[in-house]
Structure 1
């Protein structure tokens, strides 16, 4: 079995339509769904740490994008979760794992350096990588890195596409730009599925 886990950061449910996102809608029709569980605070880093650990912020320790350590605020990515992640659990079972993040800080937040392979290396965006509107890797760069990593060689791969969040912040979640980006990211999802072929 191979699993591909794609996070489309800040994707609003109103964009998941057959017109805008046919690939995602087809996956939804053929797949499994569950009820939503809220993670508070509703910020990127505590939520991603919860995704990879299955633990609430009160357990994994990342309760904000910055956390208090010895009376000093530090970036959550420099601390990482205090409980094991999916990368560690699968590694103990002999499953190779890969993590590719548009937001380079998520490498530390998700302890992805413990995966068999991760991008960007060390959680540092490579010099010259195309950036989205808020300074994180453009989805096109993240997709290229994921395809270059040969995700199909891994039993579990996680890819985070960040630019939807950025476009929604800059132009608004209901803007024409956000709708266009939702459609573009759906095409990228199709490319990832074709390359990875999860089973």
Structure 2
């Protein structure tokens, strides 16, 4: 009697996984504490990636999945106002679609094309994109598209739990298995803000994030699931100190302006009739800060046409902070949001998987190019009117 045949093992098609390690500065990869990430870089393609301006978390995460600069997709900072919605403010907890609807994210494009998606904590992925806010007591939303699977952000969910969710989604039968997934890891950014980019606590966070990548690789190997991994950061990190603070009240009368955002940059609106006074005291180079009218922000920053950007904008040199008044207590830590060309803002980029050749070191490129790359990997047609293209990656593709 013939021995029973072993069951055939499924031949899985490659999936695409976009991973963000928030605040992972490009040169962190050179510290010798990232065996998993370093191996992926050596066996794939890597680069130091320029974030879009401003080099903040929410603007850049939305750029990575839309292919548009913040000036076009409308998430112009981590916190801002909109003249069409007086009395309201966008924050990192805002999920009303009108803040987000100016640019379609990749998971929505994929879902429309019949490609299942799943997102683990990507900024904006909890939004019913394209939906309409209703003028009722509950501020409910009608319509809109979300990923097939998504999770509301919760900082108490550990890296291991986040990775486990990705692997669990990939255990599904082929018909319902996601083909495009995102994963968000945040401890490197948190540590960078708390203690600064050169402190031992940041190295501990870098090593912990690398362990999460190792867990993801092990889970994929167990499933025999091929994957094209695109591992990015949204920005880098610069060291800050209470010795490097620009106090606005020392330069201009606070009665001349309303300060709507401060830190690495400041957004201001002149109070009625006080425009000339504010301009006389702030415009131009002021020590370690430069201020412009919104319309005169340098073109290379690709920032200043969106109506959500305040009429006056000041940008500090990397490592300096703009505050309403001098700090009350000494501090030291880290910050981002500075000129996106500054080396301290450069972000991690690694691409590894069956689509990529090993050992390719790419020239620095702008993060608007990541969405076109992802469209190639997911199987979507080239996007129309995007701010980037897949040109920087073509020599890294397998022939």
Is the aligned partner of 1:60 residue 2:73? yes
**Corresponding residue of 1:41:** 54
User: Is the aligned partner of 1:94 residue 2:114?
Assistant: yes
Structure 1 distance, partners of 2:204, 2:103, is 38
* Residues in 2 aligned to 1:110 and 1:51: alpha-carbon distance in whole angstroms: 18
C-alpha change, 1:172 and 1:140, in structure 2 (3 Å) is: farther
Q: 1:184 to 1:34 in 2, by over 3 A?
A: closer
- Which residue matches 2:151? 119
Cα deviation digits, residues 139-176 of structure 1 (max 9, x gap): 34433443444477321111010111111111221111
How big is each residue's C-alpha offset from its partner over 1:100-153, in whole Å with a ceiling of 9 and x where there is no partner?
12x7x5434795x61111112xx5x3xxxx63xxxxx54344334434444773
- Judge which range, 68-77 or 137-146, deviates more: 137-146
Q: Which has the higher helix share?
A: 1
Q: SS of the residue aligned with 2:89?
A: strand
Deviates more, 1:14-23 or 1:46-55: 14-23
Answer whether contact 2:125 2:146 (CA < 8 A) is retained: no
CA shift at 1:91, angstroms?
A: 1.5
Shift of 1:191: 1.1
Following superposition, the deviation at residue 27 of structure 1 comes to 1.2
Check the 8 A contact 1:81/1:109 in 2, yes or no.
no
Is 1:15 aligned to 2:28, yes or no?
yes
Structure in which a larger fraction of residues adopt strand: 2
Q: TM-score, normalised by structure 2?
A: 0.42
Shift of 1:2: 0.8
Q: Are positions 1:73 and 2:86 aligned together? A: no
Task: Give the drift of 1:52.
Answer: 0.9
State the match for 1:191 in structure 2: 215
Inter-CA distance 7–99: structure 2 relative to 1 (3 Å threshold): same
Q: Distance in 1 between matches of 2:108 and 2:41?
A: 28
Residues 73-107 of structure 1, C-alpha deviations (whole Å, 9 max, x = no match): 22253322521111012112221111112x7x543
* Shift of residue 19, structure 1, vs aligned partner: 2.7
Q: Which secondary structure does the structure 1 equivalent of 2:150 belong to?
A: strand
Question: TM-score, structure 1 length as denominator?
Answer: 0.79
How many angstroms apart in 1 are the aligned matches of 2:70 and 2:205?
A: 30
CA distance in 1, matches of 2:127, 2:184: 13
Unmatched tracts of structure 2, length 5 or more: 1-13, 130-144, 228-353, 355-399
Of stretches 15-24 and 183-192 in structure 1, the one that deviates more from structure 2 is 15-24
Paired residue for 2:258? Answer: none
How big is the shift at 1:18? Answer: 7.3
Match of 2:185 in 1: 161
1:195 partner SS: helix
Partner of 1:134: none
How far is the alpha carbon of 1:195 from its aligned partner? Answer: 2.2
Q: How many residues align?
A: 185
Determine if contact 1:98/1:151 at 8 Å carries over to the other structure: no
Q: Which one has a bigger Cα radius of gyration?
A: 2
In the alignment, structure 1 residue 139 sits paired with structure 2 residue 152: no
- Matches of 1:30 and 1:38, distance apart in 2: 24
Report if aligned partners of 1:20, 1:182 keep a CA contact under 8 Å in 2: yes
Whole-angstrom distance in 1 between the partners of 2:31 and 2:90: 42
